[in-house]
Amino acid sequence: MKKPQMKEETRKKIDNFWYYYKIHVLVVVFILFVAGVFIKDIVTKVDYDYSVAFVTEEMMTDEEISSIQSVLEKEAEDLNGDGEIHVEMQNYTIPQGDSADPQLVAAGQTKLTVDIQDGTSMIFFLSPGCYESYKDSGVLPADESEYIKFSDCTGYEEAGSPKELGDLMGALRLVEDTKLKKDQNKMDYYEANKELFEKFTEKTLRSE
């Protein structure tokens, strides 16, 4: 049995509505879509307690990042009081050498500069090449003896001893003579990071 066809009058009304208001409908649909994405991002966004920077010449793998992150989170504390512990892994990829892609270098340097200025990360692990580039920055220790080799950290073994990361050099960023020193919240954050770094390395750092 055939379905009754739409009455000609109704069809004309729909066609007429769509002719005059299709732009309005499409705009409303787009706004609802954007609003839905925005709300989803707010609901699902992770509020990190710590941010740890890895400055490397090549991008770390997801497996390497996840393994180190899980070890750090076991030792970390709930700084924001939300009942959860999350450590953000910031991998700033900055290729070294004359053959390095200038765009990749600029992108990595820009992101790292923002992190340093905002005091987002207090714990840094650098590849030897990146250490040479930033040791005189005044933000990270210049003396190599103030760094701890990643492969010597207890946490490195717990993370599965990722071979490609063994030569990374870890240290806390410098806060003396910076605007961060005048910000008590940032200094409290620094002390929490210092404690986490000591737990991860199981080495006592020189007193500030």
Task: Let me know whether 39 and 126 are in one domain.
Answer: no
Task: Let me know whether 56 and 114 are in one domain.
Answer: yes
Task: Let me know whether 141 and 177 are in one domain.
Answer: yes
Task: Let me know whether 33 and 55 are in one domain.
Answer: no
Task: Let me know whether 41 and 55 are in one domain.
Answer: no
Task: Let me know whether 13 and 115 are in one domain.
Answer: no
Distance CA 36, CA 117 (A): 33
- Examine residue 138 and state whether it is found in any structural domain, yes or no: yes
Task: Let me know whether 89 and 180 are in one domain.
Answer: yes
| Whether this model's pTM surpasses 0.85 | no
For 14-38, the pLDDT digits (tens) are 777 777 777 877 777 777 666 665 5
- Work out the number of other CB atoms within 10 angstroms of the CB of residue 125: 27
Task: Let me know whether 78 and 119 are in one domain.
Answer: yes
One-letter amino acid at 30 equals F
In the chain, which ranges are E strands?
50-56, 87-93, 123-126, 148-149, 169-172
Give the per-residue pLDDT at 206.
41
For 34-70, the pLDDT digits (tens) are 666 556 555 556 689 999 999 999 999 999 999 999 9
Give the β-pairing of 169-172 and 87-93.
unpaired
Structure tokens at 11: 């069809």
Task: Let me know whether 15 and 115 are in one domain.
Answer: no
> Average pLDDT, stretch 140-149?
93
Task: Let me know whether 75 and 27 are in one domain.
Answer: no
- Examine residue 206 and state whether it is found in any structural domain, yes or no: no
- Examine residue 2 and state whether it is found in any structural domain, yes or no: no
Task: Let me know whether 142 and 195 are in one domain.
Answer: yes
Residue 89: phi, psi to the nearest 5? -100, 110
- Examine residue 207 and state whether it is found in any structural domain, yes or no: no
Distance CA 152, CA 23 (A): 63
pLDDT of 100 > 90? The answer is: no
Report the CATH number that the domain containing residue 126 is assigned in CATH: 3.40.190
Number of domains into which the chain is organized: 2
Task: Let me know whether 106 and 67 are in one domain.
Answer: yes
Domain range holding 18?
7-45
- Examine residue 166 and state whether it is found in any structural domain, yes or no: yes
Strand order in the sheet with 50-56: 87-93, 50-56, 123-126, 169-172, 148-149
> Average pLDDT, stretch 132-159?
91
